[in-house]
Amino acid sequence: MKICLGFVKYVGQLVVQELDLITHEMSQKLIDITELPETHLQALIIGQEEHFGELHSLLVKEKSLYPILDAKDLKISLLEFENLNSVKCRELFEKIQHRWLVFQNMNAVEHLISTFNHLSPLWMNDRITFFEELWHWLNLNLGTVHLSLYFNDIEQIEEHEKNSRPKLTQSVLSGGKKAHFKQANTAESEVFNQFTSKHHPSFEVIEFDSLKGRFVAVTQVAQSPILIMAEMNNFNQLQRSLLNGMFSSLMTLTKKL
């Protein structure tokens, strides 16, 4: 699993430190600020206060996706950031992520009812949007580097096959910063069936390996199984309770629709 931290060097450029949490190898690159929307960061650090104002329009779109912090609050300079070793880089990442996830998780707890009320009708009326918003919610509250949702879907019927019966298939919503939708290939369908063939409660963690950053969980909504696979650094009891509450409530609400 690789993490990327950015530091604004000038208004037009930022330094990106990439750390492989398994091999402990680090790499550094300088990118143009225009590349930020397509760059998957776990945090962005800004060293000069005036840069916040100068980059405001760009940062507004980014701040809901990952933490954006003042270097003064972290007590780190650009020079120190550029010279981070793997140990210091991981410490910085974990310090930033802990604060971010506590905020996200507590905010999610406070808005559970409104989130349920928003998601439940989508399950019946707009299944793809349901999974897109669920993916975003999970991504924020688990702090994932990469997140995939596997779920049952109905194969689209072509015009010349309009008399054919719809076929059950599997789809995948997967990505790092943004989610991309596709129909599952044979191997992905086999993975889905492997983990969802047995009955599971509304939410069950199958595997979490903090060293490899591997997370696998199974849940269901209205008896329809969902497989969650992610790359992430930590999974605590608050997150477990939050996801239990989310899926238990979705099961209850969807039964009433």
Phi, psi of 141 (to 5 degrees): -85, -15
End residue of a domain, out of 73, 107, 141: 107
Question: Within this chain, do residues 92 and 206 fall inside the same structural domain, yes or no?
Answer: no
The pLDDT value given to residue 118: 93
Say how many domains are in the chain. Answer: 2
Question: Within this chain, do residues 130 and 244 fall inside the same structural domain, yes or no?
Answer: yes
Question: Within this chain, do residues 123 and 95 fall inside the same structural domain, yes or no?
Answer: no
Question: Within this chain, do residues 102 and 117 fall inside the same structural domain, yes or no?
Answer: no
What is this structure's pTM?
0.89
CATH number at 171 reads: 3.30.450
Asked if 123 and 257 touch (Cβ cutoff 8 Å), the reply is: yes
End residue of a domain, out of 107, 127, 159: 107
Question: Within this chain, do residues 82 and 152 fall inside the same structural domain, yes or no?
Answer: no
Determine what percent of the chain is predicted with pLDDT higher than 70.
93
Question: Within this chain, do residues 94 and 117 fall inside the same structural domain, yes or no?
Answer: no
Among residues 180, 171, 136, 133, the alpha carbon closest in space to that of 151 is found at 171
Give the chain's largest Cα–Cα span.
66
Tell me the pLDDT band of 256, cut-offs 50, 70 and 90: low
Tell me the pLDDT band of 18, cut-offs 50, 70 and 90: very high
Tell me the C-alpha distance between 56 and 96, whole Å: 21
Question: Within this chain, do residues 74 and 165 fall inside the same structural domain, yes or no?
Answer: no
Weakest mean pLDDT among 82-86, 155-159, 171-175, 249-253: 155-159
Question: Within this chain, do residues 118 and 93 fall inside the same structural domain, yes or no?
Answer: no
Range of the domain at 37: 2-107
Q: Which residues contact 134 (CB under 8 A, 6 or more apart)?
A: 119, 149
Question: Within this chain, do residues 124 and 247 fall inside the same structural domain, yes or no?
Answer: yes
pLDDT averaged over the chain? 90
Tell me the C-alpha distance between 239 and 206, whole Å: 15
Asked if 67 and 99 touch (Cβ cutoff 8 Å), the reply is: yes
Question: Within this chain, do residues 245 and 118 fall inside the same structural domain, yes or no?
Answer: yes
The pLDDT value given to residue 78: 95
Tell me the C-alpha distance between 152 and 15, whole Å: 41
- With 0-12 / 13-18 / 19 or more C-beta atoms within 10 angstroms meaning exposed / middle / buried, residue 45 is buried
Question: Within this chain, do residues 92 and 144 fall inside the same structural domain, yes or no?
Answer: no
